[in-house]
Homo-oligomer: A and B are copies of this chain.
């Protein structure tokens, strides 16, 4: 049984054949927005998927110095992916270093605390801008597929839409927090 990373790779290969290097790049972006992995994880996982007969590869020639192994899904791989997709997902273990800091924010100097939050707000703003650019690309390149749930473009757009919503709400929350910090201690 593949790991989540394995299914991420199967999901990419279901869209198009790719080399290990290309898969590694795709794991940075766009998959990295919700599941990241470095190339040192990708290559062993890919070997595992092949020994489980879920993917196959053939050597093609490319610009690089090494042999290019292009991977594709097998019918069994396609089935494994479709079965996994509809199984309920485990609740996210939810590791957010920033929220962990916020939980202890009361121990910090107020001015430094404010800096931390405004810096985080800026980062969310940058991510939002990046997502908005990606949204424009969808509108440009695949306006009709975006509304058709049976297309790979729709699935990708759905994840992007979650990112947009998430960043907007994170910014609003940062704004609220800065407001509270600026108001300071108030005895009622």
Which residues of B are found within 8 Å of A36, using beta-carbon distances? 93-95
Q: Which of A42-50, A129-137, A143-151 contacts B (4 or more CB under 8 A)?
A: A143-151
Which residues of B are found within 8 Å of A150, using beta-carbon distances? 106, 110, 185
In the complex, per-residue mask of A61-73: 1 if CB is within 8 Å of any chain B CB, else 0? 0000000000000
Q: Is the CB of A110 within 8 A of B8?
A: no
Q: Is the CB of B165 within 8 A of A177?
A: no
Q: Is the CB of A94 within 8 A of B35?
A: yes
From 58 to 91 in chain A, residues with beta carbon under 8 angstroms from any chain B beta carbon are: 78, 81-82, 84-91
Give the interface size class of chain A: 35 or more
A residues sitting closer than 8 Å to B (CB atoms) are 4, 7-8, 10-11, 14, 31-36, 78, 81-82, 84-110, 112-113, 115-116, 119-120, 123, 144, 147-152, 154-156, 158-159, 161-162, 165-166, 168-170, 172-173, 176-177, 180-181, 183-188
